[in-house]
Amino acid sequence: MRLLVVEDEVDLLESLAQALREDGYAVDTADNGDDGYFKAKTWDYDAILLDWMLPRLNGIELLRRLRRDKKTPVLLLTAKDSVSDRVAGLDQGADDFLVKPFNLSELLARVRALIRRSTGNASNLIVIGSIEIDLASKTVMESGNAIELTAREYAMLELLAVHAGKLVSRTMIYNHIFDEQDDTLSNLVDVHISHLRKKLGRDLIETRRGQGYILNV
């Protein structure tokens, strides 16, 4: 899944991006509101982590503009902790609210919950035949046996799984799995799909030539 982090404190921005990447996310970053708004409008992120106090365009105004035509889940990060501040943030379209300083494990849990709700999954566990995918621990079991996947292989399987039975285009895979630092003109999608088939069975993922892939249910 692909996230956007908009935060003007450089150290916090870098540490958040690193932690999220280590947790298996593709991550884009912006250190001001104008750049954050441009990226949020341009790409279809799975969630946005948005600081309230930003230079050039504050987080609330960014959120207000974004909500004119985008439903991307937004976790608002702020040092403001009064009830009125929380109400203001939520009323402008934030999906969740986290007060600084925060615990990283709580932030990761809130991001998972945002993505889970936006994809219509009530549980962290997705079961497809004999395969179990745990969205919280990012682990995969097949017939009770643990399947070792790379972070990118898992990310691709998770994307296909939350849209199981539906066509997932190559463009959608690029937009949700690879961040702005990746070379999206490579054959990475084909390579990872091939590896998933070897580990989980060739019949699990169907190719629609010229269109994309379907995870069969």
HEC-encoded secondary structure of 142-196: ECCEEECCCHHHHHHHHHHHHCCCCCEEHHHHHHHHCCCCCCCCCCHHHHHHHHH
Classified as helix, coil or strand, 121 is coil
The answer to whether residues 122 and 116 touch, using CB atoms and an 8 Å cutoff, is yes
Residue type, 104: L
pLDDT band at 24 (very low <50, low <70, confident <90, very high): confident
Q: Domain 2-118: which topology? A: Rossmann fold (3.40.50)
Percentage of residues of the chain with pLDDT beyond 90: 56
Query: How far apart (Å, rounded) are the C-alpha atoms in residues 60 and 88?
Result: 8
Classified as helix, coil or strand, 3 is strand
pLDDT at 214: 94
Residue bearing the bigger pLDDT, 188 or 114? 114
The residue behind tokens 């987080």 is 59
pLDDT at 205: 92
Whether the predicted pLDDT of 121 surpasses 80: no
pTM across the whole model: 0.84
Query: How far apart (Å, rounded) are the C-alpha atoms in residues 192 and 92?
Result: 39
Whether the predicted pLDDT of 185 surpasses 60: no
Q: What is the mean pLDDT of the chain?
A: 89
Mean pLDDT, residues 60-74: 92
- Residue 75 burial (CB count, 10 A): 20
What class is the 125-215 domain?
Answer: mainly alpha
Classified as helix, coil or strand, 117 is helix
pLDDT band at 119 (very low <50, low <70, confident <90, very high): confident
Classified as helix, coil or strand, 99 is strand
- 4-18, 23-37, 178-192 — which is least confidently predicted? 178-192
Domain borders along the chain are 2-118, 125-215
Classified as helix, coil or strand, 4 is strand
